Amino acid sequence: MATVEPAVMAETRKDPKAVGAMFSSIAPVYDSLNRTLSLWQDVGWRRRLVRGADLPERGLVLDICTGTGDLALGFLTEHPEFKGRVYAIDFSALMIDRARDKVAGLGPPYPPRVDFLMGDALDLEFPDDKFDIASCAFGVRNFADTVQGLKEMHRVLKVGGQANILEFFSGGVRSRMVRWYVDRLAPFIGNLISGSRAYTYLSVTSTEFYRPQQFEELLSDVGFGEITWERLTFGIAHIVRARKE
């Protein structure tokens, strides 16, 4: 009998409506739990992604699965020389509402330079070859169809445009103690505080997601090149960057 790859098994359970409802349910505590469960490492991870992006001074950025908007806003706050515009999408209305409140609280000049929109990562409502940068933090593994999501990211990038992805990949953590924290303790705390099973789901999707080598093959198959990796905090997370060829 043929063996089914764990990443394929995980994708069969990613019902978009169920995942959207799950993220909406944890929206009120999403930021605080991210900080607490990662011991504030997630802030540094996002900062490294943004600072390392090859961002043209007047470029266009698309942030996919933006959540409460931290990564999207980082392109504005971490790059003072950046004069372009950021579009950020998510399929959770409550996440988008929190992102809009966050940018409104920053005040000028930020609100007019970022648009937070409802959107589907698998069917982006943007023309071909529009963006200089596409980014996604902890969203790719929740795509109902990873290949289709990567194809859409590739389609909307300009030739030479850069994809910047921050994600948990299978097999990244080698330490048993760190693995225990990531797989057991963090989901338990997250579920307890959020009052849902969302953090068990998020842990399972990272365990069953692609390994870095498998993911790199997917990127190459959909037309990306110049693929680079950065291992973060004992391999808990990775930043992968690639260019549209």
The helix/strand/coil state of 160 is strand
Pick the CATH number of 6-244 from 3.40.50.2000, 3.40.50.150, 3.40.50.300, 1.25.40.90: 3.40.50.150
State the Cα–Cα distance between residues 209 and 204, nearest whole angstrom. 8
State the Cα–Cα distance between residues 174 and 88, nearest whole angstrom. 34
**Distances 130 to 86, 153, 217 between C-alpha atoms, Å:** 12, 11, 24
pLDDT in tens, the chain (245 residues): 233 344 433 443 567 777 777 778 888 888 888 888 898 999 999 999 999 999 999 999 999 999 999 999 999 999 999 999 999 999 999 999 999 999 999 999 899 999 999 999 999 999 999 999 999 999 999 999 999 999 999 999 999 999 999 999 998 888 888 888 888 888 888 888 888 777 887 788 888 899 999 999 999 999 999 999 999 999 999 999 999 99
**Distances 199 to 23, 59, 241 between C-alpha atoms, Å:** 10, 35, 26
Please give the full DSSP string across 21-77, using - where no structure is assigned. HHHHHHGGGHHHHHHHHTTTHHHHHHHHHHHHS---TT-EEEEES-TTSHHHHHHHH
